[in-house]
Amino acid sequence: MKKSFPLFRFILTILLLCAVIFGVYLSNVSSSLTASGNCDLTSDACAPLVFNQTVRVNFEQPPVAEEELFLQFSQNDGLSIQNVWIEGVNMYMGKTPVLFEDPSQTGRAVTFLGSCNLSEMQWALYANIKNNATSEVALVKFTFSTYQD
């Protein structure tokens, strides 16, 4: 009878540890996408609501692969952009960073799209947007396409 008690304590400790790890994991997982609808940047600007405030994104010129691309970001004072990157949707080629000219992560940004052998390439631009009042962060997704002749 005495030998079963340490085994029970060991199993209980392992279960408790698993529960704590799972709880920490759930509290640190990124929140779901908050942009309402699908915002397509291919030919027009997008301005979804994030935390009931507007974030506006647009390309300065039509997006083309293998060329330097400039984007404009603007958001309300209550929001700040944490980081932005681009991923290929129909052909994953890793994460391409979007770099801001201003260290405050506002205004003009630059990126470069890799080469692709597909005639139509679909892309997703992801932005982590922080609510400055609550420190909550939302992941917002914008889509766009590039075409080859």
State pLDDT tens for residues 51-106.
999 889 999 998 888 889 999 999 988 999 999 999 999 888 889 999 998 877 77
State pLDDT tens for residues 24-33.
666 555 444 4
The domain segmentation of the chain, as residue ranges, is 1-30, 39-147
State pLDDT tens for residues 28-55.
554 444 444 467 888 788 888 899 998 8
Residue 37: helix, strand or coil by DSSP? coil
Read off the tokens for 87.
Answer: 């991923």
pTM: 0.72
Cα→Cα distances 81→23, 102, 110, 116, 117, Å: 27, 12, 15, 28, 32
- CATH superfamily assigned to domain 39-147: Macroglobulin (MG2) domain (2.60.40.1930)
Question: Would you give the distance in Å from CA 111 to the centre of its chain?
Answer: 15
